[in-house]
Structure 1
Amino acid sequence: MPLGSQESSDSLAAEIVTPEIREKLIRLQHENKMLKLNQEGSDNEKIALLQSLLDDANLRKNELETENRLVNQRLLEVQSQVEELQKSLQDQGSKAEDVSFNIYQPWSNSYIMLTKAVALFFLFDGLCQNNL
């Protein structure tokens, strides 16, 4: 449709529109404009709320990452202490084995010497009785 005929049909439509319809059209246009403004305001409020929630979530995430780093650091320290204690226990265990061996060894040597002494005593006693 040519541009000139569009204008003539609009003016014809304006002549056909009754005052009641015209008033209702103006009221609906105004209501539509207000709804759009409210929607934009509502969208801005939603954006602000979502931004606030995002900021809070990022803050909490940073706090948890820091806490996690500290816990991991403490875990490494405790693992190091456990390794040191295990090594210390192993060292003490080997020393205890040395001590128990050293305690047993002299007793064992004493026992052997005592056994030899008793055997010599009985041998000597037997020799003495044979000579009598």
Structure 2
Amino acid sequence: MKRLFIFFLILLGLNYIVAQEILVPEKLKTIPNSQCYWAYSVERVNTKHDSYNYIITVNVAQIDGAWYRGTLKLKDGTVYCRFNDKGITKKIQFKKSRKNWIGKFKIYTKKTLPLEIVANYNQQEVIMPLNLNEGRYPGE
């Protein structure tokens, strides 16, 4: 439990909010026997009277014992988010950028907006819930 608490403190310091463990084959890890986690960060970059621009960055981190050991590059991972904006279902595919996946999109509501970040690696799908417009993230 102490390891997990330290891990979340490290992620919060890096502006990452939520993390979930994923299974990654040992041959892909740069640190043998480490645990791997998906994590995301959220930033609202600008505000206009009728819309908000968000950037969500997803990262895969390796943890060895109680220590953060850096990011892991996965070639076959896909990340997207899905949500309803004013009754319209949207799916935003994230773009791979080095060791991160980055999603940039605009929403048109000032109300709390629940969405799901879906991270898929090796047919293992992890869903990470997220609420925007609650004042929790930079720029909100």
Shorter-chain TM-score range: under 0.3
Query: What is the TM-score with the length of structure 1 in the denominator?
Result: 0.14
TM-score under structure 2 length normalisation: 0.13
Larger fraction in helix: 1
**Structure with bigger gyration radius:** 1
Q: Which has the higher contact order (CA 8 A, sep 6+)?
A: 2
